[in-house]
Structure 1
């Protein structure tokens, strides 16, 4: 096992922006290259009439995950969605989820971004 894969073994990873392009690519790479990663916690918000769980379910069907799905058909069990809205105070994460995240997350990847270029700077 490669040293990077060993390092991720048994670790919990939090990813913001997991439903975006970079977030999906990161998730696929971690799931494929580090099969012993414990779990990927992803911050997700409802969008375009879809619930958080619908968005995650649709994302897992994406062609990008075909190889991961072939190697491990149950890979989706490592994906743990957390309801969130990054523009809100405290990221709108519930107190229960904050407790869960603070007690188990080992690594954080911040991939969230806005693609609106006319947003006001705060």
Structure 2
């Protein structure tokens, strides 16, 4: 599926009726989901902070987030240099958006196993 098609599907799933599909919508969605506790979950999958060595410029950071609901998982990136990017359909796409080679990048953490009904 093309990135444009994926963005359109995501937008149609989560947008309010009067909202417009544009890049600003995705950044606003991320901020709302991450900051205000959207019903779906936004989890940090990978986090990297480095000391820039310059007090005035602060530390540099990069993160990959996953956003999921009962049937849909997407990935987002946030970095000191590029701000928020996403959604991405695949973890590897988020890795590459940060400028890394997905073939040599650590895989996402495994999904936790769900306990069955009545499990101890």
Structure having the higher helix fraction is 1
Task: Give the TM-score, by structure 2 length.
Answer: 0.25
TM-score (norm 1): 0.25
